[in-house]
Amino acid sequence: MTVVEPFGLSVRDQALEADVRTGLSAVEAGLLDATKSEVPFITEAAQHLVRAGGKRFRPLLVMLAAQFGDPYAPGIVPSAVVVELTHLATLYHDDVMDEADVRRGVDSANTRWGNSVAVLTGDFLFARASHILADLGPEAVRIQAEAFERLVTGQILETAGPRDGRDPVDHYLDVMAGKTGSLVAVSVRFGAMMSGADERVVDTLTQYGERLGVAFQLADDVLDIASDSHESGKTPGTDLREGVPTLPVLRLRAMADAEGRPEDLELVALLESDLTDDDRHAEALRRLREHPALEQARKDTVRYAQEARAMLAPLPDCSAKAALEELCDAVVHRAG
């Protein structure tokens, strides 16, 4: 049994391990090539997060899904580069919106070069992803465009908030399906589709990816509260400081509304105060870490991961299926 990054994924099949390692190495080279520009400064900014590392979660999913067809088909590595470039581009934009200082253990691009450069660098990465997509055919372009529309729609809906009468938690889970689930679903869809897998396999893996993506994002929500910067690679409590209501906060508000406990109402009031103050922010983070709402958010994460795992049932038993199942467990472990 060999451990393959990301997530310390245990691969018991040497052929699968070799395919995954070779594929991810090719993706890494493809990312560096795609982020080169004739302008040295653009290259530096575009490769900032590429060289900072990362889990390469989406490319890994492309590689595993490709095992259900021809894992050496020519479109697999380029499609994995596309989904990772798209993901990286959203990180540049997210850090501007969140005013984040740290990403993947290094200064965020907006901290290093300012918001304008960060936004434009994200746009540059989107452009490079589109260029690669053009060689993968109109169907791939359409799939990516639909996913990107969902991603942006999710971001807008998060900013706008739930409409009157809509349950905030349900609204938030829909937002996460768009913001994160859409691109994770495309990752496994591209891998299966580019490999020539049966259409039913492609559909099954797409549904798996959608649910796994939500679980992955909910685990991030839990980590933003529960971990330190060494574990998460970014400043803990960033969303709290910016007033972004993630799932633990929404669960807290629901408990406060339903039960009306003074300590819950007091914590809600603290979270809605000015958390740019370091002492107040630290107090809010400490109290939320001790609150049952955080455990409820963990349970939500587990539920989505279990749903993702269940979606794999119709697929034939093989090493790739076992690895996809293990990823469900790994996502839950992140939130543990």
- Alpha carbon distance 142, 130 (integer Å): 11
- Kind and range of the H or E element at 142? helix 138-160
Q: What are the two backbone dihedrals, phi and then psi, of residue 43, each rounded to the nearest 5 degrees?
A: -60, -45
Give Cα separations from 66 to 63, 76, 77, 148, 264 (angstroms): 5, 7, 10, 22, 48
Q: Which residues pair with 2 in a beta bridge?
A: 11
Mean pLDDT of the chain: 89
- At 188 the pLDDT is 98
Amino acid at 322: A
> Which sequence spans correspond to the domains of the chain?
2-335
Q: What residues have CB less than 8 Å from 167, skipping those under 6 apart?
A: none
Confidence bin at 1 (pLDDT 50/70/90)? very low
Q: Does domain 2-335 have CATH number 1.10.600.10?
A: yes
* pLDDT surpasses 70 at 175: yes
What pLDDT digit, counting tens, does each position of 265-310 carry? 999 999 999 888 899 999 999 999 999 999 999 999 999 999 999 9
Q: What residues have CB less than 8 Å from 251, skipping those under 6 apart?
A: 169, 293, 294, 296, 297, 300
What pTM did the predictor assign? 0.89
Question: What does the DSSP assignment read for 159-190?
Answer: HH-PPTT--HHHHHHHHHIIIIIHHHHHHHHH
- Kind and range of the H or E element at 106? strand 106-107
Q: Which two tokens stand for residue 134?
A: 């053009």
- At 115 the pLDDT is 82
**Nearest of 127, 110, 109 to residue 47 by alpha carbon:** 109
Give Cα separations from 206 to 170, 185, 214, 287 (angstroms): 21, 5, 13, 38
Confidence bin at 251 (pLDDT 50/70/90)? very high
What pLDDT digit, counting tens, does each position of 82-105 carry? 999 999 999 888 777 766 666 766
Tokens 């850090």: give the residue: 95
Q: What is the mean pLDDT of residues 59-77?
A: 97
3-state helix vs strand vs coil in the chain, percent to 5: 75, 5, 25
- 84-115 burial: b if 16+ Cβ within 10 Å, else e: bbbbbbbbbbbbbebebebbbebbbbbbebeb
